[in-house]
Amino acid sequence: MSVIDVRRIAGRFSPICRRVATSGALAMVALTGSLTGCLASTQQEVQMGADYAAQINRQLPIVQDPEVNRYINLIGDSIARVADDRSLQWHFYVVNQDEINAFAVPGGYIYVYRGLVERAQNMSQLAGVLGHEIGHVVKRHSMKQMQKAEQANVGTAAICIFAPSVCNSQIGSAAIQLGGAGVFAKFSRDDEAQADEVGVQYTTRAGINPNGIPGMFNILLAERKTNPGAVEVLFASHPMEESRVAATQAQIAKINPAIIQSTTTDSPGFQSFKRRLASLPRVAKMGPPR
């Protein structure tokens, strides 16, 4: 596993925010030290996100199929363009693992696992997941967590804030030496509620039925009852209760019914995307490097 140069990334931050992390004990940079007392600019966030996304893409088995990649970016971009007021360049990936999970990296990098795609019954449910993760990026939740971690003097690798599933996986935990790992990896209930709220707004603006969001929540909650291990990682980073279903349903109920009726719930393109993904070989669960 390669090491991200701490000085190279920390040097991108303004002098007010810069504190170079010098510990070599982390296999991934503990960049929380670069955010003392302030929040990084959009340009700094994008540069940092690109570095971490490159690292994640080397660690996780990303689906390389052109048709799958075209569709996930098509639906993701349709939501991001009505959500993003910072002109980010968005990137959407499908991770070829059976986990039911999704996460976002600051700067516009969204990852959805194969297992979650397979549970989605229609396009609006997958779009709801993407809208929620886009919301985390737009509202800069992970960046604020990094700032919070620094203020608490917690030596948490930034990548574990962005992508706790990488750190929680066998390969991630073996490859990343962490001090205080995952302390701030779990989004707060307020962060989750805000991402849910804007996810409803974004999908509706994109012409997609927002009922896909509570619909996907219900699928995941049912999975937790029948197969709790399958959603353990997702629920660890995204706290979920039945109240989130009720909250999103109440929000949707306030939208003009004519607008909801004009939105799309499913499409042949989504079902073709699912069939294409199902035809691809599965990657064996990755173990720790030897």
Domain boundaries, the chain: 6-279
At residue 145, the pLDDT reads 76
- C-alpha neighbours within 13 Å on the C-beta side of residue 254: 8
The pLDDT-based confidence of 150 (bands split at 50, 70, 90) is low
pLDDT, tens only, 208-260: 999 999 999 999 888 867 766 555 555 555 555 678 899 999 999 999 999 99
110: its two tokens: 């969204």
- Average pLDDT of span 154-168: 53
pLDDT for 266 beyond 80: yes
Which stretches of 96-138 are assigned E, i.e. beta strand? Answer: 102-105, 109-113
Report helix, strand or coil for 188: coil
User: What pLDDT is stored for residue 185 in this prediction?
Assistant: 47
DSSP-based three-state secondary structure for 288: coil
Lowest mean pLDDT among 38-42, 152-156, 160-164, 263-267: 152-156
Confidence of residue 41 (pLDDT cuts 50, 70, 90): confident
Q: Which of the residue ranges 18-27, 91-100, 210-219, 279-288 would you say has the lowest mean pLDDT?
A: 18-27
Whole-Å CA distances, 111 to 1, 44, 106, 178 = 20, 21, 12, 22
d(CA 60, CA 13): 28
Q: For residue 35, name the pLDDT band (cuts at 50, 70, 90).
A: very low
- Report which secondary-structure segment, H or E, holds 60: none
Q: Which of 12-16, 45-49, 129-133 has the lowest mean pLDDT?
A: 12-16
Half-sphere exposure of 145 (CA within 13 A, CB side): 30
Q: Nearest-CA neighbor of 238 among 221, 252, 226? A: 221
Mean pLDDT of the chain: 77
pLDDT digits 0-9 by tens, 163-175 = 555 555 543 443 3
The DSSP call for residue 144 is H
Q: How much is the pLDDT for 21?
A: 35
Amino acid 48: pLDDT = 85
Nearest Cα to 210, choosing from 136, 132, 152?
132
How far, in Å, CA of 90 to CA of 280, rounded? 24
With 90 as the cut, is the pLDDT of residue 272 above it?
yes
On whether the CB atoms of residues 180 and 174 are closer than 8 A, the answer is no
Of 44-48, 95-99, 165-169, the poorest mean pLDDT is in 165-169
pLDDT (0 to 100) of residue 151: 59
Provide the percentage of residues in the chain whose pLDDT is more than 90. Answer: 49
User: Of the given ranges (105-114, 217-226, 259-268), which has the lowest mean pLDDT?
Assistant: 217-226
What is the model's pTM?
0.77
In 3D space, the residue among 60, 157, 67 whose CA is nearest the CA of residue 101 turns out to be: 60
